[in-house]
Amino acid sequence: MNVLGIETSCDETAAAVVHRDANGAGEIRSSVVLSQIEEHSAFGGVVPEIAARAHVEALDRIIAAALHDAGLELAEVDAIAATAGPGLIGGLIVGLTSAKALAWAAGKPLFAINHLEGHALTARLTDQLAFPYLLLLVSGGHTQLVAVHGVGHYERLGTTIDDAAGEAFDKTAKLLGLGYPGGPRVEQRARSGNPERFTLPRPLAGRPGADFSFAGLKTAVRLAAEAASPLSKVDVDDLAAGFQKAAVDCLVDRTRNALAMSAGTRFTALVAAGGVAANKAVANALQAIADDHGLPLVLPPLELCGDNAAMIAWAAAERMSLMPSGADRAGDADHPALARWPLDSLKPPQAAA
Ligand code: KG4
Ligand code: ZN
């Protein structure tokens, strides 16, 4: 089956066509991602109103490009999927409404997909990974450890009690005058820095559970930067390195706890997803944990780490493959856009139909 996916939950306008065969193998037939970084960079972060407007302006042409690249007409796809949440409500409404209109006009089933489910199932698109696996989702909006037991069966082991990991990278970058988006720039400057020069906290590390906290770390970086100001290039490098080391240590501590907490579950792999998974220091640290537990580490390719529509189309394809044929084909036609929509509130497709 071929599914057209649409993603507009944050600052990427994306559309993709993904194919899933009867054996569960996936193939990305097209994936178009238009980043709005330029629109938002002057503000040092994503401005929701600007994002929604930019989605409206670009979406039709991005969808047309995805269909064109896949060599398909709209009438030839088997289903249409859009991100329905969680995310910025204006953008979600733009993407979901467009998907509903296309599905209605073309007589196709509509799937309202949870953005986090898209990230959670990407490892099955790229690696045909079997359930269950442990997912560390680290993006600009989310930081979660999730036991992925099946499609629609997600057990959240930990989440952030304040900032997301990517948000902490972005705020640190802003503080150090490195611009937006911050993650890649902090990583680059950290390479030449001394991570031991500044003493920075590892919030929650050593404590029970798998929750995260980054607010105290961010504040500590700010105080250290103020004390060292005016900052030389070396100061910035050392602060970036110190922050990154502390953030990685937190991710490692929590991931190890999550594995210990689910000692009774035979995971097939440790999987990372989200923009922060593109960070080499993060990836290296996760590889060490995976090695210790005798698990493979599955990292999506860079273009699937960040937000994209292929993961949304794929999640719909996975759901569709589990539905009795002909069942409630337009089941999500009335689904609302949801700014908040926790992953562990989802249900497997059979139960949902
Ligand atoms: O998954 P994503 O593209 O968007 C969502 O937030 O859903 O993640 C973007 C986040 C941003 O906060 C960005 O700074 C961070 O991922 N990021 C990185 C790196 N590349 C992107 N953080 C650390 N190191 C990187 N190399
Ligand atoms: Zn995301």
Model confidence at 101, pLDDT cuts 50, 70, 90, reads very high
Q: To the nearest whole percent, how much of the chain has pLDDT over 70?
A: 97
How far apart CA 142 and CA 229 sit, in angstroms, is 31
Q: Give domain 131-302's CATH architecture.
A: 2-Layer Sandwich (3.30)
Q: Is the pLDDT of residue 44 over 90?
A: no
Residue 349, preceding peptide bond in cis (omega within 30° of 0): no
User: Is the entire prediction scored with pTM above 0.85?
Assistant: yes
Query: Which ligand ends up closest to the CA of 251?
Result: 1
What is the pLDDT at residue 353?
44
- Per mean pLDDT, which range of 52-61, 114-123, 154-163, 266-275 is the poorest? 52-61
What is the pLDDT at residue 328?
54
Q: Does residue 274 line the site of ligand 1, with CB under 6 A?
A: yes
CA 51-43-45 angle, 5° bins = 60
Q: Pick the residue with more confidence: 277 or 51?
A: 277
Strand-pair category, 26-35 with 270-273: unpaired
Q: Which atom from ligand 1 is nearest to the alpha carbon of 306? A: 3
How far apart CA 81 and CA 313 sit, in angstroms, is 6
How far apart CA 7 and CA 174 sit, in angstroms, is 27
**CB-CB contact of 13 with 58 (8 Å):** yes
Residue-wise pLDDT tens digits, 75-87? 999 999 999 999 9
Q: Does residue 138 line the site of ligand 1, with CB under 6 A?
A: no
Q: What is the pLDDT of the chain when averaged over all its residues?
A: 94
Spans of all domains in the chain: 2-121+305-352, 131-302
What is the pLDDT at residue 319?
95
Q: Which atom from ligand 1 is nearest to the alpha carbon of 280? A: 26
Tokens of 147: 């036991």
What is the pLDDT at residue 49?
82
Q: Is the pLDDT of residue 327 over 70?
A: no
Q: Does residue 12 line the site of ligand 1, with CB under 6 A?
A: no
How far apart CA 201 and CA 193 sit, in angstroms, is 18
Rounded to 5 degrees, φ, ψ at 54 are -65, -35
Q: Is the pLDDT of residue 45 over 80?
A: no
Residue-wise pLDDT tens digits, 186-210? 999 999 999 999 999 999 999 999 9
Q: Quick one: which of 80, 93, 47 has its CA closest to 339?
A: 93
117 Cα: distance to centroid of ligand 2 (angstroms): 10
| Mean pLDDT across 177-191 | 93
Rg of the chain (C-alpha set): 20
| Mean pLDDT across 312-330 | 82
What is the pLDDT at residue 40?
78
| Mean pLDDT across 47-73 | 92
Q: Which atom from ligand 1 is nearest to the alpha carbon of 165? A: 12
**CB-CB contact of 332 with 110 (8 Å):** yes
CATH for the 2-121+305-352 domain, from 1.10.10.60, 3.30.470.20, 3.30.420.40, 2.60.40.790? 3.30.420.40
Tokens of 264: 């009774």
How far apart CA 21 and CA 23 sit, in angstroms, is 5
139 Cα: distance to centroid of ligand 1 (angstroms): 5
User: How distant is the alpha carbon of residue 45 from its chain centre?
Assistant: 17
How far apart CA 154 and CA 120 sit, in angstroms, is 9
How far apart CA 78 and CA 106 sit, in angstroms, is 10
How far apart CA 131 and CA 332 sit, in angstroms, is 25
- Per mean pLDDT, which range of 1-15, 46-60, 160-174 is the poorest? 46-60
Taking CA atoms only, the protein residue closest to ligand 1 atom 21 is 275
| Mean pLDDT across 293-315 | 95
Residue-wise pLDDT tens digits, 131-176? 999 999 999 989 999 999 999 999 999 999 999 999 999 999 999 9
Q: To the nearest whole percent, how much of the chain has pLDDT over 90?
A: 86
What is the pLDDT at residue 56?
87
How far apart CA 295 and CA 219 sit, in angstroms, is 35
314 Cα: distance to centroid of ligand 1 (angstroms): 21
What is the pLDDT at residue 46?
81
